[in-house]
């Protein structure tokens, strides 16, 4: 789906909340739980922001007021 192998988060945006923004990690994070054969030196890790229009509509952020 994305050319980056390490996507990190997503958020809905745009006037109708139907645009999906996906971030990707810029640096390789080779973890012990990486899939067998995964070599971050042989793939494009990422670091870019991707945007795609979707048929799915997000929701407005829930806001709260907390007093201390």
Predicted local confidence at residue 58, as pLDDT: 94
SS3 track for the chain: CCCCCCEEEEEEECCCCCEEEEEECCCCCCCCCCCCCCCCCCCCCCCCEEEEECCCCCCCCCCCCCCC
Look over the chain and give the mean of its residue pLDDT values, rounded to a whole number.
83
pTM: 0.66
Predicted local confidence at residue 52, as pLDDT: 93
The percentage of the chain sitting over the pLDDT mark of 70, rounded to a whole number, equals 82
Domain extent for 43: 1-30+39-57
In a domain, 65, yes or no: no
Report the domain count for the chain: 1
In a domain, 21, yes or no: yes
Predicted local confidence at residue 21, as pLDDT: 95
* pLDDT tens-digit map of 8-67: 899 999 999 999 999 987 766 656 667 777 776 776 667 889 999 999 999 988 888 899
In a domain, 1, yes or no: yes
In a domain, 68, yes or no: no
């Amino acid at each position: 789906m994305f050319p980056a192998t390490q996507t990190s988060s997503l958020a809905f945006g745009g006037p109708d909340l139907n645009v999906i923004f996906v971030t990707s990690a810029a640096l390789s994070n080779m973890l012990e739980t990486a899939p067998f054969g995964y070599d971050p030196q042989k793939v494009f890790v990422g670091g870019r922001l991707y945007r795609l229009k979707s048929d799915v509509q997000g929701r407005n952020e829930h806001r709260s007021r907390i007093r201390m």
